[in-house]
Amino acid sequence: RVLVGRWATEREARQNIDEFRDDFAPRIIRQIVRPATGTIELFNEDFTDSRMIEDGFRIVPRTDTSLVNLRNVREGTGFHWEREVDRTYPGTIEIRVDHRGLLMSLVELPIELYLKGVVPAEMPASFPVEALKAQAIAARSEVLSKIGLKHPNDPFDLCAHVHCQAYSGSTHYDDRASAAVDATRGQVLMLGGRVAEAVYSSCCGGHTEDKVNVWNPPGSPHLMGGWDADPGTEMPDTLDLSNELDFEKWIAMKPAAWCNPEAHEGLPEILNQAERNFRWEVVYSRRELEDIIRRKSGEDIGNLVDIVPLQRGNSGRLMEIEILGTLKNLRVQRELNIRNILSLKYLKSAAFSIEVEEGADGRPINFILHGGGWGHGVGMCQVGAGVMAAEGNNYKAILKHYYPGTTVEKVYGD
């Protein structure tokens, strides 16, 4: 990592970041100049009395079973499931003023209790139990491998969003999910004597992706893309999904991948419902897509002429595109940025081909995106894990498939 400059505000940093995008994957690091401060007014239940509190306060539970209710908690920011919900949380709650001048709630609790709020938030609790165990170990490995790395300048270790892992407190506690956490207590994935990172996404679409193609280098040997299928399953392995023509053939197929529920019989209904994410389609009028691009980029490209794929990863996920307009062209790198600029609420994945419908004058009328999967595609495919479990594979077999070269080891607990 190389520090290339210092700017007084995030806005100034963003204005200077574009010159590095063609050759690097730049990121902005926030540095604390001074701690956030503010005054919080705290009311009693019927709003007849209040107290002014500087900077923040803590709510300490009287018993281990005490819960705190928080209302209007925002989740899924920027994604299609964005909403405000009411949540209940165990543990000590701290309310502070954050750097934006908004209220921030922090929860202090043990890892195993934290995981009981993560597993059912990240994977449906009605999934087969062996898949839930695999999810618990992946989530535990994520915590221990990345503690202190994701939010170095924040007053917390992990956020409650998909940036780290979705955490819903005790709101969605489920006996099956909690049992999976208890059954795997202290178990993590190990690689080279260290706890391995164990990222995951909802549905890979039939082929997982290399970590290095989604995030910054270095890559990881256990997070290399591959076919999401049993070794004996016939897959179109002569196709190079980074090649545009081969990818177009692939995205039109529905092979017997683990994450294709249609190819497997006798699955629980919750897994059959995931079929809609294995292959999907989005249709935009040209003007509709122009408006989205303008809103997301802040740039007026004029009339949209074409969207050109420039680079794909080994799962076919787009790593770079160029948006051609009559006034300006835009080059966009990284799968999440691509998913963002072409949708109001993020596309399901960056594994899509682009079909352009033209009018009689040869100008684009509609843009059709033919896609596969949901999420970045690195590491464990959650739908694939569910199908593997439904077909008799235990959690160790699931983890071996998605994180090759790792071993499951118990690092704490009885």
Question: Does one domain contain both 79 and 161?
Answer: no
pLDDT in tens, 91-124: 899 999 888 888 889 999 999 999 999 999 999 9
**φ, ψ of residue 259 in degrees (nearest 5):** -90, 15
**223 within some domain:** no
In a domain, 217, yes or no: no
Q: Compute the average pLDDT of residues 55-83.
A: 84
* Confidence at residue 282, expressed as pLDDT on a 0 to 100 scale: 98
How confident is the model over 25-46, as pLDDT tens digits? 677 777 777 778 889 999 988 8
Give residue 25's pLDDT.
Answer: 65
The confidence score (pLDDT) of residue 262 equals 93
pLDDT for position 323: 98
Other Cβ atoms within 10 Å of 270 Cβ, number: 17
Among 77, 109, 141, which residue terminates a domain?
Answer: 109
- Same domain for 176 and 123: yes
- Taking 80 as the threshold, does the pLDDT of residue 157 lie above it? yes
Q: Does 314 fall in a domain?
A: yes
CB-based contacts of 82, cutoff 8 Å, min separation 6? 74, 75, 76, 345
**What is the tally of structural domains in the chain?**
4
Higher pLDDT, 229 or 9: 229
Residue 1 has pLDDT above 70, yes or no: no
- Among 72-81, 227-236, 311-320, which is the least confidently predicted range? 72-81
More confident: 253 or 172: 253
58, 75, 109 - which closes a domain: 109
Q: Are residues 384 and 403 in the same domain?
A: yes
Q: Say if residue 162 is in the same domain as residue 190.
A: yes
With respect to residue 71, please indicate whether it lies within any of the assigned structural domains. Answer: yes
Confidence check: pLDDT of 137 > 80:
yes
**Among candidate residues 56, 74, 109, the one where a domain is terminated:** 109
pLDDT-based confidence at residue 13 (cuts at 50, 70, 90): confident
In a domain, 150, yes or no: yes
| Whether 290 and 397 share a structural domain | no
Q: What is the pLDDT of residues 50-67, one digit of tens each?
A: 999 998 899 998 888 889
Q: Assess whether 142 and 86 both reside in one domain.
A: no
Specify if 3 maps to a domain: yes
- pLDDT tens digits along 224-274: 999 999 988 889 989 999 999 999 999 999 999 999 999 999 999 989 888
Domain membership of residue 207 (yes or no) is no
Residue 24: the pLDDT is 67
Does one domain contain both 188 and 261? no
**Single-letter code of the amino acid located at 138:** A
**183 in the same domain as 167:** yes
Between the CA atoms of 179, 168, 372 and 270, what dihedral angle is there, to the nearest 10 degrees?
Answer: 50
Show the domain range for 278. 236-374
Q: What is the mean pLDDT of residues 282-290?
A: 98
Q: Are 285 and 364 found together in one domain?
A: yes
- Whether 322 is covered by a domain: the verdict is yes
Closest by CA position to 213, among listed 312, 132, 130: 312
Average pLDDT over residues 3-26: 73
Residue 320 pLDDT > 90: yes
Do residue 168 and residue 79 come from a single domain?
no
> Do 105 and 115 sit in the same domain of this protein?
no
pLDDT confidence of residue 23? 65
Is residue 185 domain-shared with residue 117, that is, in the same domain?
yes
